[in-house]
Structure 1
Amino acid sequence: MSTGVVRVGLLGLGTVGGGVIKTIRSQQEKLASRLGKRIEIVKALVRDSEKERAVHLDRSVLTTDFEDVLKSDVDIVVEVMGGVEPTYDYVRALIEKGCHVVTANKELLAKRGTELVDLANRHQVHLAYEASVAGGIPILGVLRQFLRTNDISGVRGILNGTTNFILTKMEQEQLSYQEVLKQAQELGYAEADPRSDVEGFDAMYKLYILAQLVYGESLPLAEVNRKGIADLTAGQIRIAGELGYRIKLIAQAEQTGEGIRLSVEPTMLPLSHPLAQIQDAFNAVQLSGNIVGDLLFTGRGAGELPTASAVVEDLAYLLTQPFTPHPVWKEREGGAETTQETEAKSFCYVEGTGPAATPDRVLHFLRLAGVEVHKLKVQFDLGGVLRAGLITTGFTDEHSDLLRSDFGLQVRCFPLLGSVE
């Protein structure tokens, strides 16, 4: 490492990359006094070197050829270009050269992290990824500290700001999913192609990384129970609210007797639950430790500066710490089954028309089938459509199929986190 100067390369100069440069520049004196070195961006890989950007870099720093970064004698490279290919090949080449890497790329880590962690250990370089989970919330650093004394039985949270913004607006303004998605895209919260966010992939990648830190292993992504929010309706959200609940996209990792279980799905929370209070584009992570109990961390989970903050904190950390081997990442196939538990409580939303679709008949059927109904909220519209929300115990897919075939009802069920209120 050059005396007095840390030579930093940058892969990607989009929103987060620009935020990294702004943060380094605004905090340069503080960083220099604490690190004893000045940070200098010496190369930045971009798609188009002629493009106008919000941050200015000398033209000689910009390149469209990764080989220029590799040859530029950088000490550390910050990867914020996203994606898996060709990003994996670039990061692998840098590690093999002995270069430290800071990344905000949760998809890369979830899909190729086991290999990259192993590679970093073999070449004795830092691979830092705080910015890959929950943006500016320093949850990975907290976990590293807490795992020294606490056994973490469960991690759950709201790990995607875009979907939390959409659900908040659907509830507050009683708008449809499509209407709010359009708002989110106009505000820059959602991409033109929003599937990674709204179908739960983004939250699943972050959950995979959390599980690796907490349990020393994760499940293959194909075995994670993942459901998105694109089919949620304003009616479902409204009835949930009238029952005293709120629907959130919850990512959850828990240790069971059969192994770890990972899920990302719309979940019912009592309004009193701490995660139910997290609104708009904020993220939150809740930890359950055997000694400390429950802890909640919240903050802005996305955007230019929150993510850039985590990147630069990682950069500063690895400049002050000697290399120590990273805990090995592992994948274990055949985690805990995600079959329905007959004792689990759930929120079921039913909607349909027809002479058999009356509240009394539906309740009678459920009682005979052994389903306990704790709460019921019924609505009818002028066209005779039955809309009802039920908090139940013992409701299964079989009951759902029978309500469709015998009563002509469409059924959507959500797991319930917390006690019935």
Structure 2
Amino acid sequence: MSAGVIKVGLLGLGTVGGGVIKTIRSQQEKLAQRLGKRIEIVKALVRDSEKERAVQVDPALLTTDFEDVLKSDVDIVVEVMGGVEPTYDYVRALIEKGCHVVTANKELLAKRGPELVDLANQHQVHLAYEASVAGGIPILSVLRQFLRTNDIQGVRGILNGTTNFILTKMEAEQLSYQEVLKQAQELGYAEADPRSDVEGFDAMYKLYILAQLVYGESLPLADVVRKGIADLSAGHIRIASELGYRIKLIAQAQKAEQGIRLSVQPTVLPIAHPLAQIQDAFNAVQLSGNIVGDLLFTGRGAGELPTASAVVEDLAYLLTQPFTPHPVWTEKNAAAQLEQGQDERVLCYLEGSCIAATPDRVLHFLREAGVNVTKLKVQFDLGGVLRAGLIVTGIREEHEQVLKSDFGLSVRCFPLIESA
């Protein structure tokens, strides 16, 4: 590193990249006191060097050619361009050159993380990724300290702000999914193509990274239970609310003797549950430790400055720490996935004609089948449509099939979390 200056390169200068520059500029004096050197952006890879940007940058620093970054004398590169290709090739080349890398790219880490961690260890460089999981919530650094004395029995959380905003508005304003998605896109919470968020991919990538840090292993992405929110209706939200519950997109990692279980899916929680209280575009992570018990961390999970804050904190941290090998990332095969427990409580939502499916007939069938029903809420509309929410234990796929085929009902079961 040059005397008095830390030279930083950027891959990407979009929303987060601009936020990184703003954060470094606004905190330059504080960072210089902490590091003993000033941070200077010396090169930034962009797709279009002529594009107008929200942050003013010397045009001489911009390049559309990655080789300009690779051949420059940067000490650290911040990767905020997103995606896997060509990003993986760029990050790999930088590590092989001996350059430290800070990334906010959860998809890259979830898909190629084991290779990159191994490569960083081979070349004895830092690979820092605090910003990849929960934006402004410093959950990864908290976990590293937490793991020194605690065994973590479970991790669950709301890891995607877009879907949490949508679910909050659907309940509060009694709007449809499509109506709220449009609002989210207009406000900049959702992309024009929202699939990564609403289909659960974004939260799944973050959960994969959390599992690697907490348990030293994860599952191949194909083996993670993943369900999004695009098929949720106002009826689902309303029935849950009338039963005293709230639907959230919950990411959850659990470990038992048989292996680990990772899931991202709409889940029902009592309205008083701490995670049920997380509203709008906020994120939360709940940790359960064998010594300290439950801890909850909340904050803005995305956006220009929360994510940029985590990136710059990573940058400052690695500049003050000697290299130590990263824990190896491993993946277990599908055999490590735990089976869904048959005795778990779920909220079962039923909808269909009340002619074939009267509440009495449905309850009689379920009880005869050995399904325990502990709560029931029934609604009818003027068109003779039955909508029912049941809290049940012991319902199986074959029971759901009978409800569909013999009673003409649509069936949707949501996992239920009771305890905080």
Partner of residue 264, structure 1: 264
1:143-175 deviation line (CA, Å, top 9, x unaligned): 111111100010000000000000000000000
Number of the residue aligned with 2:329: 329
Judge which range, 64-73 or 335-344, deviates more: 335-344
Shift of residue 336, structure 1, vs aligned partner: 4.2
Return the alpha-carbon distance in structure 2 between the equivalents of residues 115 and 340 of structure 1.
Answer: 31
Change (3 A) 1:419 1:116: closer
Corresponding position: 1:203 with 2:241: no
Letter of the aligned partner of 1:127 in structure 2?
L
Q: In the aligned structure 1, how far is the partner of 2:341 from the partner of 2:33?
A: 56
Any residues of structure 2 matched to 1:7-406 within 5 Å, and which?
Answer: 7-406=7-406
Aligned equivalents of 1:204, 1:394: Cα separation in 2: 27
Question: In 2, are the aligned partners of 1:258 and 1:336 still within 8 Å (CA)?
Answer: yes
Q: How many residues align?
A: 420
Aligned mates of 2:419, 2:311 — CA distance in 1: 38
Query: How much has 1:377 moved relative to structure 2?
Result: 0.3
CA gap of 1:307–1:399, structure 2 versus 1, over 3 A, is same
- Compared CA separation, residues 328 and 197, structure 1 to 2 (3 A): same
Q: Distance in 2 between matches of 1:375 and 1:2?
A: 68
Spell out, residue by residue over 1:295-353, the C-alpha distance to the aligned partner (whole angstroms, 9 max, x if none).
00000000000000000000000000000000000011025445432211000000001
2-structure distance, mates of 1:17, 1:138: 19
Q: What SS does the corresponding residue of 1:60 show, helix, strand or coil?
A: helix
Return the alpha-carbon distance in structure 1 between the equivalents of residues 419 and 85 of structure 2: 44
Give distance in 1, aligned partners of 2:299 and 2:335.
Answer: 31
Structure 1 Cα separation of the partners of residues 286 and 138 of structure 2: 13
Provide closer, same or farther for how the CA distance between residues 255 and 328 of structure 1 changes in structure 2, counting only shifts above 3 A.
Answer: same
In structure 2, C-alpha distance between the alignment counterparts of 1:328 and 1:79, rounded to whole Å: 21
For residues 413 and 333 of structure 1, what CA distance do their matches in structure 2 show? 27
**Contact 2:346/2:414 (<8 A) preserved:** yes
Contact 1:225 1:338 in 2 (8 A): no
- 1 CA distance for matches of 2:321 and 2:240? 49
The runs of 5 or more residues in structure 2 that have no matched partner are none
| Matches of 1:390 and 1:419, distance apart in 2 | 19
Contact 1:375 1:392 in 2 (8 A): yes
Distance 2:257 2:156 in 1: 18
> Deviation at 1:419?
5.0
The answer on whether the counterparts of 2:259 and 2:338 sit within 8 Å (CA) in structure 1 is no
Provide the C-alpha distance between the structure 2 equivalents of 1:360 and 1:186, rounded to a whole number of angstroms: 45
Contact 1:44/1:61, CA 8 A, preserved across alignment = yes
Q: Distance in 2 between matches of 1:318 and 1:192?
A: 35
- Separation in 1, partners of 2:79, 2:102: 6
Q: State the alpha-carbon separation in 2 of the partners of residues 207 and 193 from structure 1.
A: 22
- Counterpart Cα distance in 1 of 2:208 and 2:313: 22
Q: Distance in 2 between matches of 1:291 and 1:338?
A: 25
The structural deviation recorded for 1:256 is 1.5
Aligned partners of 2:31 and 2:38 also within 8 Å: yes
Q: Is the 8 A contact 1:340 1:396 kept in 2?
A: no
- Which stretch shows the higher mean deviation, 278-287 or 340-349? 340-349
Mapped contact 1:5–1:38 kept (Cα < 8 A):
yes
Q: Distance in 2 between matches of 1:122 and 1:254?
A: 31
Q: 2:321, 2:239 → 1: CA distance?
A: 52
* One-letter amino acid of the structure 1 residue matched with residue 286 of structure 2: Q
Q: Is the 8 A contact 2:273 2:419 kept in 1?
A: no
Using the aligned pairs only, state the percent identity.
85
Amino acid in the other structure paired with 2:391: I
Under a length normalisation based on structure 1, what TM-score does the superposition of the two structures give? 0.99
- Alpha-carbon distance in 2 for matches of 1:397, 1:178: 29
Alignment partners' CA distance in 2, 1:215 and 1:175: 39
1:273-308 CA-partner distances (Å, limit 9, x unpaired): 110000000000000000000000000000000000
Tell me the equivalent position of 2:2: 2
Q: Is the 8 A contact 2:260 2:337 kept in 1?
A: no
TM-score by length of 2: 0.99
Report how far residue 72 of structure 1 moved.
Answer: 1.1
The secondary structure found in structure 2 opposite 1:297 is strand
**Contact 1:261–1:335 (Cα < 8 Å) also in 2:** no
SS in 2 for 1:407: coil
Q: Residues 380-407 of structure 1, C-alpha deviation per residue, up to 9 Å, x if partnerless?
A: 0000000000000111111110001111
2:270 and 2:11 mapped to 1: Cα distance?
A: 43
